[in-house]
Structure 1
Amino acid sequence: MSEAYVDWDLAKRTGRRWVSDGPQTTPDEAAAVVAELRDAAHRALQPVADTARLDCLAGAESPVFVVDRAAWIDVNVDSMAALLSPVVEALTAKRKAGPRARAVGAKVTGTETGALMGFVASKVLGQFDLAPEGRPSLLLVAPNIVAAERELHVRPADFRLWVCLHEETHRVQFTAVPWLREHLIDRIRTLAVDLVPTPELLQQRLQAAAKALPGLLREGSGGLTDLVGTPEQRAELADVTAIMSLLEGHADVVMDDVGPQIVPTVSDIRRTFDARRKGSVGPDRIIRRLLGLEAKMRQYRDGAAFCRAVQAQVGVDGFNAVWAGPENLPTADEIYAPAAWVARVHG
């Protein structure tokens, strides 16, 4: 049924057309990068788990894959299709378009989705794929890691291990906390279904987007996500964002705690990488703002500040109460008020 509203195969083809292969490497160089990233992921896992004080014995259930940009697009389009299947069902119930109109709409939506995936595929270094209807896995995007290390002029072996520290923290989070994956998938699906507009509301929101465009490009904007409709929807989106901030911030904190132990040039890497995060300009930055990707950068900062503050007050074990159940996750307000979370959870 979902293919009637989104042409997912077209999305994959469009994404591959939009994205380049990445930096030039010889076959031997490419094979060496893949082997080193696999080894780095293996080396990072136990130090990350020990520092986070989380049991990662189930980590083998979520494998590590070193992929190129095209493969990343394929995996993420499949995951998006599975994640949004309830949204498609809601669209089916709300819209009365005939088969021809649906077919045209599916190609338009597929093209737009593919263009978005093509843009992001050249940026992301790694990702824990939740795979809503499949097997979750950790993806390391080799050409992007190579491109970043060349741009930053850092030691490749150290940079690859450093990236794996962050990404392996996500694998540990989701494998050590069994309820977390399904909870996050359910929250995102529920919000997405609730946001599906009627045809009339869709037209109104598109008009609002055109009028709001200058504001969506301002510093601090969440991009197109700022157009979410009701106060209740905005509150739910804020709480889901708080969960993402927790996960990203925790990964950054663990990475920074483990890094000096096993990555010799970690201070240089962190300094140059942070400068890179802040330094995008021109059309690239405009697209990032529209898509809310700059808001994602704030998730690292806000989530890390929350984790550090909580750990300073109650220690790592006290912080780990956050993983006890969904009720212990920080709310949107608590991400900015760690003491309030401590008072609620620890009394």
Structure 2
Amino acid sequence: MEMVDWNLAVATATRLVRPGPEVSREEARDIVAELRRHAKASEEHVRAFTRMEAANPEDADTPVLVVDRPGWVRANVAGFRELLAPLLGKVEERRASIPGGAVLGAVGGKVTGVEVGMLLSFLASRVLGQYETFAPASRELPGATESGGRLLLVAPNIVHVERELDVDPHDFRMWVCLHEETHRTQFTAVPWLRDHIQMEIQSFLGETEIDPSTLLERLREAAQSLTGAKPEAEEGADAEDEPSGESRGSIVELVQTPAQREILGRLTAVMSLLEGHADYVMDGVGPQVVPSVAEIREKFQKRRATGAGRLDQALRKLLGLDAKLRQYRDGERFVRAVVEEVGMDGFNKVWTSPNTLPTKAEIAKPADWIARVHRKAD
């Protein structure tokens, strides 16, 4: 019995996820067709702007999957299952040596499956699109020949947001496609990027403590974060009191060992780069193909900065989504500063190797990255 009942996770998320906005069957067909057209058109726009081409011609034809919320859940469960396999295998080995471990494992797998499903049901109504690269290719989830990736566009969420913002739906759909196409371009033009990120994640998980009592303590702290409670010693402490200037409320913050902190710093930097680059590109290309890009960006930024309610804000904090919002902002500033100083070709040196990726400190100080990577030969 696996430590996480993945089938139950999918079933739970599918049952709990909220239905999407009401559209007729004809409207749904038109939306799907338009998203596919925009995804195809955005390829040329993004590649011309970034000057990045797929390293393998076969990867240039990465599948575009227009999915509903349950479809997004299934794709991400497949990716999580692949990424977490080494860690869960290690835990299962230890559990097998404990008397009664099999029974506890069966129960624990069900409980964890429900918990994972609950979190995915929350996220499934918020993600507009994603370049998913970790799940193995299958008939239900085709992937590119070499990179194995696929571009996901979550149609109900795109329609929901465009209506909520009251923006031109055709412009908004193209704008979203430009962002997600930039991610596809990043991974298909930089062959080592997927393996590098996967290795960093595996290293992070490999440092995870698997002592049952430690895990129980972390779960208790996570529950306190969700309810807003703090241990007595922390009463009155604000986020600014933390050495990092960040809240300790997220799950990611709660599971760090010293080694994990180093790995997380590198992962934060590369994710800031990828998200900031996508934001920079979508706004750079936008005026050419999205007439109302300024209005969309202004309204979307306001929406991004605020949660839908107190529960939404608490869950965002718990899942570390507030940190992701900072990644968009800080990463975009880094890309903009570097391109202004050394041009797009100079910026693209960032994709040379893992050694030319910016550090977390360099994301905040682009001039330091420029000095390190573009230092003169003499």
Identical positions, percent: 50
| Aligned pair partner of 1:39 in 37, 40, 58 | 37
Output the CA distance in 1 between the equivalents of 2:312 and 2:222: 19
Structure 1 residue 20 corresponds to structure 2 residue 18: yes
Aligned to 2:327: 299
May I ask how many residue pairs the two structures share in their alignment? 345
More helix by share: 1
TM-score by length of 1: 0.95
Aligned to 1:124: 127
| Aligned pair partner of 2:295 in 268, 274, 277 | 268
Q: Which amino acid aligns with 1:285?
A: Q
User: Residue 87 of structure 1 contacts residue 193 of structure 1 at CA under 8 Å; is this kept in 2?
Assistant: yes
| Aligned pair partner of 2:360 in 306, 316, 332 | 332
How big is each residue's C-alpha offset from its partner over 1:130-166, in whole Å with a ceiling of 9 and x where there is no partner?
A: 1243331000000000000000000110000000000
Output the CA distance in 1 between the equivalents of 2:18 and 2:219: 31
Aligned to 1:83: 83
SS at match of 2:108: helix
CA 214–234 in structure 1, closer or farther in 2 if over 3 Å, else same:
farther
Q: Which amino acid aligns with 1:344?
A: R
Aligned to 1:71: 71
How big is each residue's C-alpha offset from its partner over 1:243-281, in whole Å with a ceiling of 9 and x where there is no partner?
A: 111000000000110000110111111111111112223
Shift of 1:218: 6.5
Output the CA distance in 2 between the equivalents of 1:214 and 1:323: 43
Aligned to 2:340: 312
CA 146–54 in structure 1, closer or farther in 2 if over 3 Å, else same:
same
Q: Which one is further off, 126-135 or 217-226?
A: 217-226
Aligned to 2:167: 154
SS at match of 1:139: strand
TM-score by length of 2: 0.87
Shift of 1:232: 2.2
User: Residue 59 of structure 1 contacts residue 172 of structure 1 at CA under 8 Å; is this kept in 2?
Assistant: no
SS at match of 2:286: helix
Shift of 1:207: 4.2
SS at match of 2:207: helix
Output the CA distance in 2 between the equivalents of 1:201 and 1:335: 33
Shift of 1:309: 1.2
Q: Which amino acid aligns with 1:272?
A: K
Gaps of 5+ in 2: 138-147, 240-245
Output the CA distance in 1 between the equivalents of 2:72 and 2:222: 29
Q: What does 1:99-138 correspond to in 2, within 5 Å? A: 99-134=102-137, 135-138=148-151
Output the CA distance in 2 between the equivalents of 1:139 and 1:5: 27
Q: Which amino acid aligns with 2:7?
A: D
Gaps of 5+ in 1: none
The alignment yields a C-alpha RMSD, in angstroms, of: 1.9
How big is each residue's C-alpha offset from its partner over 1:95-134, in whole Å with a ceiling of 9 and x where there is no partner?
A: 3442111000100111111111111000000000012433
| Aligned pair partner of 2:7 in 9, 34, 40 | 9
User: Residue 62 of structure 1 contacts residue 137 of structure 1 at CA under 8 Å; is this kept in 2?
Assistant: yes
User: Residue 54 of structure 1 contacts residue 176 of structure 1 at CA under 8 Å; is this kept in 2?
Assistant: yes
